[in-house]
Amino acid sequence: MEKEKIVPDVIDTAPKAVLNVKYGKLEVNLGNTLPPHEVENPPTISWNADKNKLYLLCLTDPDAPSRKQPTHREWHHWLVGNIPGTEITKGDTLTEYVGPGPPYGTGLHRYVFLIYEQPGKLTFDEKRISKDSDEGRGMFSIRNLAKKYKLGQPIVGNFYQAEWDDYVPEVHKHLSGKSN
């Protein structure tokens, strides 16, 4: 994460453990490149969690609209809190999952998964964002959210990179609310 500058662009310290993230047969592996059309649906995620604790999951892109000019840093793709153990579907979804949609000609974007251990059950006041909306996804900061809720540093993380492919216009169309 230091090599690709996730530290310091997104977080202050790299997590000590690697998060297991799989999109079907594709595995996220600390910066490998995955095509957007292969990661359009939420992945399977696992980590060494305590089933009696609660966690927060974030997937964020610090390279919006591009790594050279990240004027919308960060653009978050998924945010779920109050996850009991690794049961993400039982957590409170603050932002529904949306796959990558790097604009044409902007090069590789980093897509960063982070897990934080919560101090207990939290009441989130963030606006809920559906998978059909891009409103409120940009200008996000997982660092600030972690400070707000006293989450400390992430305990596990992973990331992949992606760039525009022919599927990306579908992602943008869906987020604009113009898909069927």
- Mean pLDDT calculated for residue range 47-54: 97
Mind giving me the DSSP string for 50-91?
Answer: -TTSEEEEEEEETTSS-SS--TT--EEEEEEEEEETT-GGGS
Tokens of 21: 């993230």
pLDDT of residue 179: 54
Q: What CA–CA distances, in Å, run from 97 to 76, 85, 149?
A: 9, 19, 21
CA diameter of the chain = 45
Distances (CA, A) of 150 to 119, 130, 154: 8, 25, 11
> What is the tens place of the pLDDT at every residue in 140-176?
999 999 999 999 999 999 999 999 999 897 888 888 7
What are φ and ψ of residue 147, in 5° steps?
Answer: -65, -45
Token output for 89: 């579907």
The domains located in the chain, with CATH, are 6-175 (3.90.280.10)
Phi and psi of 150, rounded to 5°?
55, 50
Whole-number mean pLDDT of the chain? 95
- pTM across the whole model: 0.95
- Mean pLDDT, to the nearest integer, of 108-126? 98
pLDDT band with cut points at 50, 70 and 90 for residue 66 = very high
